[in-house]
Amino acid sequence: MDDRRSYKRFSMILPVEYKLAAFQDQPVMTASLDVSGNGMRFCIKDKASVGEEIHLFVGLPDSEKVLLAAKVAWVKYIEVEEEYEIGVRLADTKSEDGKKFMDFYSQQMLTFLEENKDQNKIE
């Protein structure tokens, strides 16, 4: 299978509040399943459409919450859970909060590289 990812994906649970720009006034709580330098994956109860704008409030481990704009990249309905698993692509990592998120992601990557430097595990 062709993996087109630009950034390494890390399985990571971070608190996420989301607002689908089209219709939600109040953010809804969920948690990330994994994150990368340009997106993340999580589950939501509301149906979202590919290309739809979504606003994310992501809690970083230092307890700082960052606001990130994103677009829905893919949607998969999980019938057993009656929810949607979605992947989002970050729209702007150059904002102040986007830079904080990228700093966090960069630190994750450095830790990963350091832990795997003597092994042939780096993919």
What does the pLDDT look like over 27-61, one tens digit per residue? 999 999 999 999 999 999 988 999 999 999 999 99
Within-domain flag for 28 = yes
- At which residue do the structure tokens 């630009």 appear? 6
**pLDDT mean over 2-8:** 66
Contact 43, 83 (CB under 8 A): yes
Across the chain, mean pLDDT equals: 88
Query: Looking at residue 4, what is its pLDDT?
Result: 61
Within-domain flag for 4 = no
Contact 16, 4 (CB under 8 A): no
How many structural domains does the chain have? 1
Within-domain flag for 56 = yes
Within-domain flag for 3 = no
Q: Which CATH number does the domain housing residue 23 bear? A: 2.40.10.220
Within-domain flag for 70 = yes
Q: Is this structure's pTM higher than 0.75?
A: yes
Query: Looking at residue 1, what is its pLDDT?
Result: 41
- 11-20 pLDDT tens trace: 999 999 999 9
Within-domain flag for 121 = no
Name the pLDDT band for 7 (thresholds 50, 70, 90): confident
User: Measured between alpha carbons, how far is 102 from 14 in angstroms, rounded to an integer?
Assistant: 14
> Could you tell me the maximum CA-CA distance found in the chain, to the nearest angstrom?
49
Within-domain flag for 123 = no
Which structural domain range is residue 25 located in?
10-115
Within-domain flag for 122 = no
Query: Looking at residue 87, what is its pLDDT?
Result: 96
